[in-house]
C-alpha cells in the first residue's frame, strides 16, 4: 500500500511506494537487458502480463495480433482504492496512494524506436493514451495524470521494450499547480495563453523551430534545460490529448516521427524522457480557481528531454539545469540533418 505524503520543508508531495521495491531491477548493481524471449511486453507473451485494459486490435483480448496494448502496472506506485481520506498527525499529512498506474506497450516490436515506427503505429499509440485519459477522467477522485516515457538507462528505463506510463493521482503535483497559477496570471494580463504567445514569438524568431505538421510545431525552447530538448505544442487551444481529432492525431504522429528521426540522426540511439503536460483530469480544492478558465488559456505540450548527462547535486539542490548546447545550435543541426 502506497502513501502520498506532504513534504512541508520543500512544499510538495512525495509518493512512498514500498511496492516499487519489488521491481526486478531495483537494487541490482548491474543492468541486464532482457531479450525478446523473456520480455513480458512482446507479442505472444500476453499471458505474462495482467489482463489488458485497452488494446488496438480486431480480435479477442489478451491474444497476439495487436498494435498497442494497455495493462495495469504490476509494480504500481499508486492503486485504485475506495478509501481516500487524508490523515493528519501534527505536521505529518498523508493519504493512501489512490490512483491508477498503467503501462502502454507502444508496439509489439521489441527493438523498435520511435524513429522507425510506422506513422500509423505512432497514431495508434496516441489514440491509446487519449482513450485512457478520457476513461480515467470519469473517476472524479483522479485529479492529475502524468504521462511519460523513459528510454534508456540514463532515463531510468527498466524495460527495454518500448512503453509509456500513465500515473493518475488524487492530488495536483506542486509544479503542475504552479504552472496553472502562472498561466492564469499571464492570461489575465495579456488576454492570451502563455503557450500561444510563446509559439508566436518562436515563429517570429524562427531560429529555434525544428519542424511543423498540421497545427503542431516542434521547437527547441529558448531556455532549454536539456541539450537538444524539443517541445511540441499545438497552434490552437487543445488542452489535453483527448481534445484532438483524427487529423490532429495523424499530424502529431507524423511530426513525432520526424522529430525522432532528426534527433537520432544527430545523437544516435539516445536516452531520453518524454512527458506530456496536459490539463488536470478533474477539479479539486487545489486547482478549483483555475479549472473554469482552462480551455481559454491552457495548451498541452509534449516535451522530449534527451538524457546525455547525469544530474548532480547542483541540479538536485537548485532545480536549475546546466545545458552545454545552445537551443539555437541544436535546432539548426536538427533542421539541417539528413533524414
Ligand atoms: Zn519485448
What pLDDT does 27 receive? 46
User: Cα of 114 to ligand 1 centre, how many Å?
Assistant: 15
| In contact, 132 and 241? CB cutoff 8 Å | no
Given its phi and psi angles, is residue 44 left (phi above 0), alpha (psi -120 to 50 degrees) or beta? Answer: left
User: For the whole model, what pTM was predicted?
Assistant: 0.93
User: Cα of 171 to ligand 1 centre, how many Å?
Assistant: 33
pLDDT tens digits along 128-138: 999 999 999 99
If DSSP codes are grouped into helix, strand and coil, which group holds residue 328?
helix
User: Cα of 120 to ligand 1 centre, how many Å?
Assistant: 20
What pLDDT does 30 receive? 42
User: Cα of 105 to ligand 1 centre, how many Å?
Assistant: 9
User: Cα of 163 to ligand 1 centre, how many Å?
Assistant: 10
pLDDT tens digits along 282-322: 999 999 999 888 988 999 999 999 999 888 899 889 989 99
CA 118: distance to chain centroid? 20
Q: How far apart are the first and last CA of the chain?
A: 47
Name the fold adopted by 34-74+99-336.
Answer: HIT family, subunit A (3.30.428)
What pLDDT does 28 receive? 45
User: Cα of 241 to ligand 1 centre, how many Å?
Assistant: 26
User: Which residues are CB-neighbours of 238 under 8 A, at least 6 positions away?
Assistant: 215, 244, 248, 299, 300
Mean pLDDT by 10-residue block, N- to C-terminus, for the chain (339 residues)?
86 84 54 75 95 96 97 83 79 88 96 95 98 96 96 88 95 94 96 96 97 98 97 96 97 98 97 97 95 92 94 89 95 96
| In contact, 203 and 217? CB cutoff 8 Å | yes
Amino acid at each position: 500500500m502506497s502513501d502520498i505524503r506532504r513534504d512541508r520543508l520543500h512544499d510538495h508531495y512525495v509518493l512512498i511506494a514500498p511496492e516499487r521495491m519489488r521491481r526486478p531491477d531495483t537494487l541490482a548493481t548491474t543492468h541486464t537487458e532482457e531479450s525478446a524471449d523473456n520480455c513480458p511486453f512482446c507479442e505472444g507473451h500476453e499471458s505474462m502480463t495482467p489482463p489488458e485494459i485497452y488494446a488496438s486490435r480486431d480480435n479477442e483480448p489478451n491474444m497476439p495480433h495487436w498494435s498497442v496494448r494497455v495493462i495495469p502496472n504490476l509494480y504500481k506506485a499508486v492503486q485504485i482504492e475506495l478509501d481516500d481520506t487524508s490523515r493528519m498527525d501534527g505536521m505529518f499529512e498523508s493519504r493512501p496512494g489512490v490512483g491508477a498506474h498503467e503501462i502502454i506497450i507502444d508496439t509489439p516490436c521489441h527493438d523498435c524506436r520511435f524513429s522507425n515506427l510506422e506513422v500509423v503505429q505512432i497514431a495508434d499509440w496516441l489514440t491509446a493514451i487519449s482513450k485512457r485519459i478520457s476513461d480515467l477522467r470519469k473517476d472524479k477522485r483522479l485529479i492529475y495524470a502524468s504521462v511519460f516515457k523513459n528510454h534508456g538507462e540514463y532515463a531510468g528505463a527498466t524495460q527495454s521494450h518500448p512503453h509509456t506510463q500513465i500515473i493518475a493521482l488524487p492530488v495536483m503535483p506542486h509544479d503542475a499547480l504552479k504552472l496553472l497559477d502562472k498561466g492564469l496570471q499571464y492570461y489575465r494580463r495579456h488576454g492570451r495563453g502563455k503557450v500561444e504567445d510563446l509559439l508566436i514569438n518562436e515563429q517570429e524568431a524562427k531560429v529555434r523551430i525544428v519542424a511543423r505538421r498540421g497545427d503542431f510545431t516542434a521547437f527547441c525552447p529558448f531556455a532549454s534545460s536539456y541539450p537538444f530538448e524539443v517541445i511540441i505544442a499545438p497552434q490552437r487551444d487543445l488542452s489535453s490529448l483527448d481534445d484532438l481529432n483524427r487529423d490532429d492525431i495523424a499530424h502529431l504522429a507524423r511530426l513525432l516521427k520526424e522529430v525522432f528521426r532528426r534527433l537520432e540522426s544527430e545523437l544516435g540511439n539516445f536516452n531520453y524522457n518524454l512527458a506530456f503536460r496536459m490539463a488536470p483530469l478533474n477539479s479539486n480544492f487545489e486547482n478549483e480557481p483555475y479549472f473554469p478558465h482552462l480551455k481559454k488559456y491552457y495548451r498541452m505540450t509534449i516535451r522530449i528531454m534527451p538524457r546525455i548527462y547525469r544530474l548532480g547535486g547542483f541540479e538536485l539542490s537548485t532545480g536549475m539545469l546546466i545545458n552545454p548546447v545552445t537551443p539555437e545550435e541544436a535546432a539548426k543541426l536538427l533542421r539541417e540533418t539528413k533524414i
